[in-house]
Amino acid sequence: MLVLLAFLTISTMKGQTSFYDFTVDDIEGNPYDMARLKGKKVLVVNTASKCGFTPQYEGLEQLYRTYGEKDFVIIAFPSNDFLGQEPGSNEEIASFCSTRFDVSFPMMAKISVKGKKKHPLYKWLTEKSQNGLKDSRVSWNFQKYLIDEDGSLVGHYSPKTKPESEDIVAWITE
């Protein structure tokens, strides 16, 4: 038993954990198992309702409506980590996204994406020791992480990169 535990610990430290190993809460408080996304490309984005980048919700929705049928999904994680730009409750966030941007892609519960309270999924996304690719830090709202069909992190884009950018579209369609 100890040998198995040691192997699993070493495997995780070497970045062997997959995106599909995580379960998070959706915006309604229900468990959302990332394993349900196996075989799909996933764009993970931290969002906020009162940010200069908030209009990117429109681009995200357009991207999702255009490519969502082609084994692609967007997963949004509201976060209040940057200047209090997401102060609302999950219910308020869901209402805002629905009425203002007609968001149809999966929205998760509000989490922390940096600091001491960083959600384990974001630890995986930002720490090479866990994701096996590279270290990064979430610089602001609307940073985008790319997960391939095998559940591996393959890259990320800054908040300034629009969701419908040529690079992101090329990655989805390759």
Catalytic residue from among 12, 16, 26, 51: 51
Kindly report the number of other CB atoms within 10 A of residue 129's CB atom: 12
Measured distance CA(20)–CA(28) in Å, rounded = 20
Secondary structure, 3-state, 99-139: HHHCCCCCEECCCCCCCCCCCHHHHHHHCHHHHCCCCCCCC
Q: Which residues contact 162 (CB under 8 A, 6 or more apart)?
A: 56, 59, 168
Kindly report the number of other CB atoms within 10 A of residue 85's CB atom: 19
Is 97 assigned a catalytic role? Answer: no
Residue 149's identity, in one-letter code, is E
Query: Would you please indicate which residues are annotated as catalytic (active-site) residues?
Result: 51
